Amino acid sequence: MPLFFRGEYAGFIVKGNFMTLAAKPHLVEEGEWLAHQIVEQNRLLSGMLRCVQEKDRTTGRPTCNEHSCPSMSAGPTTYTWIDTKGNPINLPAPTYIKHIQTWVSGKVQDQALFPTDNFTTAPPLPRASDVKADPAHYLGRTSGFPQRFESEVKNMYKQMLRCYAHLYWQHWLVFWELGGHRELNTCFVHFMNVGRAYRLLGEKDIEPMAPLVDLWIKEGVLPKYEEEGGSVASPTSVPERGASTVVGPTSGAGVGNAGTAAAWSD
């Protein structure tokens, strides 16, 4: 079993209830909230990726390079890219990840998908009962988001999860040797908390990281939802005043002479 699936290596840099970061504030429309989450999650992921993208001072190459990572893999799972003709192709992990980062950034900056000038013209938030009764309602409609917004968000989230899975399976030792494995855990548990709360990820998406997710559920770090046999409903609001948790990469983190092999234990 990889070391990062074991409880002694699954800790965080902060204490507190991660749901305070995932639960939608009462007066914020869900589309607006998910748009905010995508931007924030992309920022946090980018900070973690930089740890394996910066050049090693000794070798002059990034830790994650086409020789160390000839494919975008996460343990036994290999992810393929879809080319312009719709065919799956194998790409080196750094190329795949760069494509994802460029693609997600492009989506976020697309005014048709993530409108930023609708705030003054958007109608008042409707009552929940009115929304349920409206057959034309879709996620983000009242805030000016397009009908495809939800599916696009889910696709972005799935691709970002693949980046996290690659970091754990192929580069966890880098974070361990830098003393940054708890920062990685903190960003990832926040990512998973949001993804599970708003059903942005499927079981198959989570599969490469399922043992760690299951461990956090067992320890009570992640909630167990009703559809999973638990007693927790998906979040809709947070208290007006409550403990907050600050999540972010440690400043100045870089890559030293760390190895690139996946970390395993007997």
186-245 per-position pLDDT tens digit? 999 999 999 999 999 999 999 999 999 999 999 999 998 877 776 666 654 444 333 333
Residue 101: inside a domain: yes
Q: What angle do CA 196, 36, 26 make, to 5 degrees?
A: 75
Count: domains in the chain: 1
64 marked ligand binding residue: yes
139 pLDDT more than 90: no
Please indicate, yes or no, if residue 220 is contained in any of the structural domains: yes
Picking from 39-48, 101-110, 133-142, 162-171, which range would have the lowest pLDDT averaged per residue? 133-142
- Tell me if 47 is assigned to some domain: yes
| In-domain check, residue 177 | yes
In a domain, 129, yes or no: yes
Burial 206-241 (b: 16+ CB within 10 A, else e): bebbeebbebbbeeebbbebeeeeeeeeebeebeee
- Confidence band of 260 (pLDDT split at 50, 70, 90): very low
Against a cut of 0.85, is the pTM above it?
A: no
Kindly state whether residue 245 falls inside one of the protein's structural domains.
no
Domain of 176 in residue numbering reads as 3-228
In a domain, 256, yes or no: no
For residue 172, is pLDDT > 60? yes
pLDDT (mean) for 46-53 = 97
% of the chain with per-residue pLDDT over 70: 79
| pLDDT tens digits for range 18-42 | 888 998 998 889 999 999 999 999 9
92: in domain: yes
Is pLDDT of 159 > 70?
A: yes
**Residue 8 Rama label (left phi>0; alpha psi -120 to 50; beta):** alpha
* Residue 126, pLDDT score: 57
254 contacts 54 by C-beta, under 8 angstroms? yes
Determine whether the annotation assigns residue 26 to a binding site.
no
CATH number of the domain at 164, please: 1.20.140.30
Q: Is 163 annotated as a binding residue?
A: no
47, pLDDT greater than 70: yes
Portion of the chain with pLDDT greater than 90, in percent: 64
